[in-house]
Each structure stands twice: as C-alpha cells, then as structure tokens.
Amino acid sequence: MGEAVGPHVLVIPYPAQGHMLPLLDLVHLLSSRARLAVTIAVTTKNRHLLDPLLSRSPTVVPLVLPFPDYPALPPGVENAKGLPLAFFRPLTHALAGLQDPLLRWAHSTPHPPTAIISDFFLGWTSDLAAQLGIPRLVFSPSGALVVAVLHVLWRRMPERSDPDDPDCPISFPEIPNSPALPRHQLSFLYRTHIVGEPLSEFIKEGFLKNIASWGFVVNTFADLERVYLDHHRNDLGHPRVWAVGPLAPPDGPAERGGGASAAVGEIMTWLDGCPEGSVLLVAFGSQQVLAPPQAAALAEGLERSGARFIWCATEATVVPKEFEGRVAGRGLVVRGWAPQVAILGHRAVAAFLTHCGWNSVLEAVTAGVAMLTWPMGADQFWNARLVVEEAGVGVALCDDADAVPNADELARVVAESLGESGKGMRERAKELSRRALDAVKGGGSSYKDLEGLVAELSKIRVK
C-alpha cells in the first residue's frame, strides 16, 4: 500500500441515468468546492457519460473497467437505459464482477482510496471497502423516505395482512407518518423476491450491507424530509447521514446527462414567447415509455385543456398523427433527450406532469414548479405521496403505470393546475423552491452537510 497522502474518494455509480446524474453532480461538488481527490469507476460503454463532468471538473480521474462477463445479460448491455425490468437483477449482479478488478487497482495505485461512495444498488462495495480497510458510504439517488422504506422492506420483509387482497396496503408503522402503500406499488425488486433464489438473496444482502455501512449521502434537503433524516440517524444509531441536495445545479449546463438531442435554443425561444407561468411541462424521465393508448389519451387531454405545453416524448413514444399541427403555437412536442432542468427553470413554466422520478421531483421543487403526479414504478409512488400529501406542491393525476387517463379529467386537472384553483399549490411550490435554494447556498442545511461530509472524509487516513 502507498503511503497516506490525503483523502481520496473512489466513487462507483449505478449505470442508470436517474442514478448517475445526481452522483456526478455530487462528485463535481466534492472535487471543485472541496478540492477532494476523486476517482470515478465506470465500465467501457458508460465512459462517455462522464464527459460533461470531466469538462467542468478536470481533476476527477475516470477509471474505466471492462464490463464483467455475464451470459444472462443480452450482449453489449452495460446500462439500464431501455433495459426491460427483468434484466434489472442480472445487471445489478453482474456489476459485482467489478470487485476484484477494483481491488487490484486499489492495491496497485500510488494513491489508494481512503473511502468509497457508491450507489445503494451496489451493496457489494461494502465488501470491497472492508477488504481495503476503508469506510463505504451509500449514495441514495432517492429521497430519505424511500431509503427508510427500503430498510424496513429488506429487514422485516413485510407481507400483506390479507394475502388474497392484491390491494391490501403494506404499512410501515416504524417510519414517521406511518406510511402505507398497496403491495403492487412497492419496489419491483422486493415484490419479485424469491426466498433462497441466488439473485434475490444477492439483492437483499446488498440492501442489508447498505444498512451496516459507515454512512449515507442522500440527494434531499432537511426542509423537505427532516423527519425521515432524523429517523435514519436514530435508526442507524449514528449521525453520519448527510442531506446534500438538491444536487442538480439549477443553472447548470443544458447538456446534463449527455447532449440534448432537442434544439435547446429553439425550445427556449418558444418558451420566451409564452406568458409567465402559463406552460405545462410533460416528461416521464429517462426510462418510462408511454404505451400508445396512454399517449393518445394524454394528447387528447392536452388538446382539450387549451393549455400551453411542452411534451418531452422519448423516441419510442407514439404521438398521434396531426396532433402537433392541431396544437401548433400552443403546444411543442420535443423528441429525444431534452434539457429538462433548463425548461423547468424558465419563467413561463408553472406546472409539470411527471412520473415522479426523484430527480424530476427535486428539479421541479428547485424551480418552484407545481406537479401533476403520475407515478409508474420504482420509488415514484412514495415520491408522489410526499409531493401531494406532505409538501402540498402537487396534485394526483394517475397512480398506475398501466392506467389510460380519462382525457376530460386530464384536461380539467391541467387547466386547474395552471388556473385560479391551482394558485395555492403554485405559491407553495415557489415557497418550497426558496427553501431548496437556501439549503444549497452558503450556510444552508445541505451546504453545511456537505462541509460536514468533507470534514469526516478528510479525517480518514489509511495506514
């Protein structure tokens, strides 16, 4: 082992946009603001996703490793983008094949890592950290409520009180506000867990290793999730839980997450032509694709609402024919990767029809944009609950990934969210935005948590 020459963080992201983007934003802060040495490990086909970060944080060192050989995955797959859910477990398990190459790297580099920060889907990195005699910190791309739920799920493995009722809610009395959700809205990985099946047990072990890890870094802020952050510190029995979000820089580069295929300039010019607070953004993250009947109902609802809107439709989304012609002037359909943060930050945008991915929720909160929630999977049902029931900055539109919304109902909710009856919700969104921006400013709760995290990381020495 080389002699100790100061803190050096090895960062290991999970290869999915929603997970990688916030962790790369954290790396930028650790390297640019805190001047920490950071190495970030990715596999060959994910290397290009680091370009925006490396151009603004040139001291960050990329460590590119070949993707482990894993026959159960379709050839060439190294990222969750567009991957059917069924391959989620194999992808997560395949990544554990990076443990030995990372160990060899750590033993051969002149400046060995003094800590590991890795995604919460990568529990096996706790073993790597133990082999290196350094602490492992869990990075959560989801909020503190969701992490609390995951810890109860994998520790207590709760079952329905009435196994014959698919909608029988599963409750979490050990979590503040005693939240509950129907079983079918719980995480896919948990619902499909098979006791004794190797991949299932691997996933479960990963989450249990997270709970035993040295600390947590969560993309959230105290004013939004204080009760859940305090719950974690009590539950884990130590204070090493840092809320450092929202991590997405509100004025960051439009190229966030790789080159925006949509013409950023044209979109901004179109928005410049709209009155303040008059536009609805419609977007469903980097994974979700609406089924044709859902896209048709959405289009019909948007048309009937009379509202101005930008619809970020993934390439695979079937937008009804002639729809764009019929709504020309008040509706814009953007295909491909859109500059979501920049659009949310425009003064014309006042509401956001979203699938409630946690990044999208935090970006809307930061921009002060009210939400129309249509959660579809993963942690999104919890996120929607937090947005609508706790923060009061959203209204529920749909809560089922397979639902085909009623066009009239959708039109009514859209019109109201931008109209007089949505005023209160929009004002609460503006207020929460002020608190989110205060949190990341000098002296703010997240700013101080990041300083606290860096101070702890800087104390670590490897002998």
What residues make contact with ligand AWU under the rule CB under 6 A?
Answer: 17-19, 21, 141-142, 248, 256-257, 285-288, 312, 337-338, 340-341, 357-360, 363, 378-380
Of 114 and 288, nearer to ligand AWU (C-beta) is 288
Residue nearest to ligand AWU (CB): 18
Task: Give me the least distance between CB of 254 and ligand AWU, in Å please.
Answer: 9
Task: Give me the least distance between CB of 390 and ligand AWU, in Å please.
Answer: 17
Task: Give me the least distance between CB of 358 and ligand AWU, in Å please.
Answer: 4
Which tokens sit at 86? 């069924």
Of 37 and 122, nearer to ligand AWU (C-beta) is 122
Task: Give me the least distance between CB of 261 and ligand AWU, in Å please.
Answer: 8
Task: Give me the least distance between CB of 286 and ligand AWU, in Å please.
Answer: 3
Of 17 and 433, nearer to ligand AWU (C-beta) is 17
Of 179 and 285, nearer to ligand AWU (C-beta) is 285
Of 80 and 410, nearer to ligand AWU (C-beta) is 80
Of 253 and 452, nearer to ligand AWU (C-beta) is 253
Task: Give me the least distance between CB of 423 and ligand AWU, in Å please.
Answer: 26
